[in-house]
Amino acid sequence: MTNRAKSTSAVGQSIPHDSGKGHVTGEALYIDDTTPIADELFVEFAGSPVACGKIVSVDASKAKQVPGVVGVYTHRDVLGHNLFGPVICDERFLAEDRVAYVGQPVVVIAGETREAALAGRAAVKIEVTPEPTVLDIDTAIEQKQFLGPERRINRGDFDSAWESAAHKIEGTFESNGQDQFYLESQACIAYPGEHGQLTVESSTQNPTESQAILAEVLGLGMHEVVVRCKRMGGAFGGKETQAAIPALMAGLVTQKTGRPARVVYTKDDDMKVTGKRHPYKTWYRVGFDSDGRLNAVKFDYYSDGGAAADLSTGIMERTLLHADNAYYLPNVTLMGRICRTNIPPNTAFRGFGGPQAVAVIESIIQEVAAALGKDAFDIRKVNCYGEAPRNTTPYGQEVKNNLLPEIFEQLAKTSDYKKRLADAEAFNRQSPTQLKGIAMTAVKFGISFTTKFLNQGNALVSVYTDGTVQVSTGATEMGQGVNTKIRQIVADEFGLSVDRVLVMTTSTEKNINTSPTAASAGTDLNGAAAANACAQIKQRMAGFAADHLSKTNSDLAPNPDEIRFEDGHVFDRRNPGNRTAFGKFANEARMARVDLGARGFYKTPGIDFDRDTGKGNPFFYFTTGAAVAEVTIDRFTGDLRVVGIDLLMDIGRMINPGIDHGQVIGGFVQGMGWCTAEQLVYNDAGELLSYSPTTYKIPNITDIPKRFNIAFMDNGENAKNIRSSKAVGEPPLMLGVAAWAAAKHALGCVAGKGPVPLKLPATNEVVLMCLTGIEHKQRGAGERQTTPR
């Protein structure tokens, strides 16, 4: 008998990321690493010089005369529809008679070299008659400039609860946007095919949508367009829809010239013309009792959608669905509106509207605690979701398998929260130069697309006669490790080691009509679809194996249910000594004309949400967690330092603990950056001023606190999801709010029971201005603005 290794499962192991070595060595190829082929053209674009206005003229005559310029194209060269949009069809590929933001593409230039294309771009003259711009939410509201419909969710009787509330607070809360700051800018290459067909290599989270938009705008059928994505150098939501315009630029040039065409944005151009996380302004009214229990909550959310709708309607919907975060709200009225402004259309960003909602409710908790002279942790506990009837959301979904109370209690103990709180407040009473702050915030993030039809995935699995396996799905790899997890799932299904499984380049010709890799659901949908395909193949193989193996043991009646795939072998569990190597068995099955390939499909069950009534079950399950953050503030400079993080999450049973651990760290740090450092700054002309690493500060290694403890709850109760796992991509980002809340606590030690008008992000400048305003008010040196702007 052959030697057998101990039976092990690939799932649950910290298998290295399948591109990890390539990331370090530089062998992992991205779009612009691809060597240009013969006749390939380089593409640039000329954009609007103003934020809003009527186009008077577009003069490209001098651009056409630049040596090396092959073509110059405007909207008149578009063969299909120049108008597109993922939800509302309101965005133009190339501007026609009007422009709506600085840098909006007007002219596409193709050159033999990048230098020629850039020179052609510089030679284009675009004359625009400027018109009044709308650059902020207040102006948009005043002028009634909105995108999409008003949305509402209500429960209980807010008006009565507000009138009878023992305590009340009201005001506004503002959070700024955030740039995705992926390392690989928007990029794609288009290749011509026969009969006008097109193949596009794109850095996109959404190959199917790119395929559909390319076909529609270029006047092709979807069957004539193939979009592929090997990997992205980061995306964070910024390549869910916004990869479309660069793909259209390259596709247009290829269609017109019959030559390959490459578009790669510079980091400056990328930051200037692509959409970002939505800024929000929220008007709130909250009534509560003397224990801090929230009895009446009213939030009116207004987001800055930019010049076109993009995904703003879905993002606002998720904001409304996360208004409660981790807290039961018996009487609540929620309203959401999207403002149209003259900046690039804002878009998806990790969290997709959830962070803006979480920040509001967590800020409210801090304000309630200050008003009552209590610890915010105690206010969070008293409002936390618990047992029935305090376990249903404002939209009527039951919060099942809820570990939030246990998470709060366990994290408070392991982080030594109470002692550190007492130490911080004692320190603040005696230190003339510094402040300390500490806060615990939570997250309850719904997992699923809120648009029902997107909750589906398909996969193609092929078993070869040497026992190796290829799998193709609609998932796109952006560094988050979805391909590695799918490898583990497929390897586990066949009882193979992961080196026997390869996840192929994502392509619309292999996986059709797929959803974007977003909503933290990439592994949930595509992993389940791959497992479904494996099950089909195993069923056929098991049927053959039952007959085949029974011939060597006449005492065993053929029974496919007794066939096992383990340790690289196939056997009948009633006779485990009679094993056949998987590769040999696959070859034998093929000789017997057994189909060794399958297309798997999965659709998320049990989700249904009525947008008109604001009721239903939009989510398959919730990922939950909490974080304790400790900060220090320099009283003279406002310098904010995050000095300690303790984080605890329930993410079910991990398919790959190493990857999940990395996702938690990365998500938290990105959220911390949004809350404390990353400030988008526009001038009065609508031009982004913070458009490079020199003017836009993302967290770096020195911003990571020395105390950074991460732990996970032991919870295998999420059996309805693939391998009892839970999504981990987005939820940790919202725990970055803890750092902001800790800063608010520190400033609250100065303000006492007064309001702390701290804006988000809490940059050093913002912290200093807030602290100065509080101190001046206390000294009676003049009343200052106390509502965040």
35-63 residue pLDDT tens: 999 999 999 999 999 999 999 999 999 99
Distance of alpha carbon 176 from alpha carbon 667, whole angstroms: 18
- pLDDT, mean of residues 79-103: 97
Distance of alpha carbon 712 from alpha carbon 647, whole angstroms: 8
Per-residue confidence (pLDDT) for residue 270, from 0 to 100: 98
Half-sphere exposure of 189 (CA within 13 A, CB side): 17
Q: Where are the beta strands (DSSP E) in 230-356?
A: 261-264, 280-288, 294-306, 332-340
Read off the amino acid at residue 558. P
Angle between helices 376-383 and 417-430 in degrees, nearest 10: 150
10 Cβ contact list (under 8 Å, min separation 6)? 487, 488, 489, 491, 492, 496, 497, 498
Distance of alpha carbon 206 from alpha carbon 584, whole angstroms: 38
Per-residue confidence (pLDDT) for residue 552, from 0 to 100: 73
- pLDDT, mean of residues 65-84: 98
Dihedrals phi, psi of 553, to nearest 5 degrees: -145, 90
In the structure, what pLDDT confidence band is assigned to residue 754 with cuts at 50, 70 and 90?
confident
Distance of alpha carbon 304 from alpha carbon 338, whole angstroms: 6
750 Cβ contact list (under 8 Å, min separation 6)? 428, 435, 771, 774, 775, 778
Read off the amino acid at residue 513. N
520 Cβ contact list (under 8 Å, min separation 6)? 445, 447, 623, 727, 728, 729, 730, 731
Half-sphere exposure of 276 (CA within 13 A, CB side): 24
Sheet with 167-175, strands from edge to edge, namely 146-155, 332-340, 294-306, 280-288, 167-175
> Which residues on adjacent β-strands are paired with residue 438?
630
Per-residue confidence (pLDDT) for residue 169, from 0 to 100: 97
Per-residue confidence (pLDDT) for residue 789, from 0 to 100: 26
Per-residue confidence (pLDDT) for residue 466, from 0 to 100: 97
390 Cβ contact list (under 8 Å, min separation 6)? 328
Q: Is the pLDDT reported for residue 781 higher than 70?
A: no
Read off the amino acid at residue 190. A
Read off the amino acid at residue 98. R
Q: Is the pLDDT reported for residue 281 higher than 60?
A: yes
Per-residue pLDDT of 658-697, as tens digits, reads 999 999 999 999 999 999 999 999 999 999 999 999 999 9
Per-residue pLDDT of 129-164, as tens digits, reads 999 999 999 999 999 999 999 999 999 999 999 999
Q: Is the pLDDT reported for residue 787 higher than 60?
A: no
Catalytic residues: 730
Sign of CA dihedral 119, 121, 127, 129: negative
In percent, how much of the chain has pLDDT > 70? Answer: 98
Per-residue confidence (pLDDT) for residue 784, from 0 to 100: 41
Q: Is the pLDDT reported for residue 786 higher than 70?
A: no
Q: Is the pLDDT reported for residue 785 higher than 50?
A: no
Tokens coding 92: 């133009």
Per-residue confidence (pLDDT) for residue 233, from 0 to 100: 96
Per-residue confidence (pLDDT) for residue 452, from 0 to 100: 96
Spell out the alpha helix ranges (H) of 437-521: 482-494
In percent, how much of the chain has pLDDT > 90? Answer: 93
C-alpha pair distances (Å), 312 with each of 87, 141, 337, 416: 9, 16, 10, 40
In the structure, what pLDDT confidence band is assigned to residue 551 with cuts at 50, 70 and 90?
confident
In the structure, what pLDDT confidence band is assigned to residue 549 with cuts at 50, 70 and 90?
confident
Whether the bond into 618 is cis, omega within 30 of 0: no
Distance of alpha carbon 708 from alpha carbon 703, whole angstroms: 11
Per-residue confidence (pLDDT) for residue 460, from 0 to 100: 98
| Under 8 Å between Cβ of 664 and 647 | yes
Q: Is the pLDDT reported for residue 572 higher than 80?
A: yes
Per-residue pLDDT of 6-35, as tens digits, reads 457 899 999 999 898 998 899 999 999 999
In the structure, what pLDDT confidence band is assigned to residue 186 with cuts at 50, 70 and 90?
very high
Name the more confident of 789 and 615.
615
Read off the amino acid at residue 597. G
Distance of alpha carbon 476 from alpha carbon 482, whole angstroms: 8
Q: How confident is the prediction for the chain on average, in pLDDT?
A: 95
C-alpha pair distances (Å), 439 with each of 378, 737, 761: 11, 9, 16
Q: What is the DSSP string of 562-591?
A: GEEEETTEEEETTSTTS-EEHHHHHHHHHH
Q: Is the pLDDT reported for residue 788 higher than 50?
A: no
| Under 8 Å between Cβ of 92 and 83 | yes
Per-residue pLDDT of 412-463, as tens digits, reads 999 999 999 999 999 999 999 999 999 999 999 999 999 999 999 999 999 9
Per-residue confidence (pLDDT) for residue 753, from 0 to 100: 82
Q: Please tell me what DSSP assigns to residue 499.
A: G
In 3D space, the residue among 170, 344, 359 whose CA is nearest the CA of residue 280 turns out to be 359
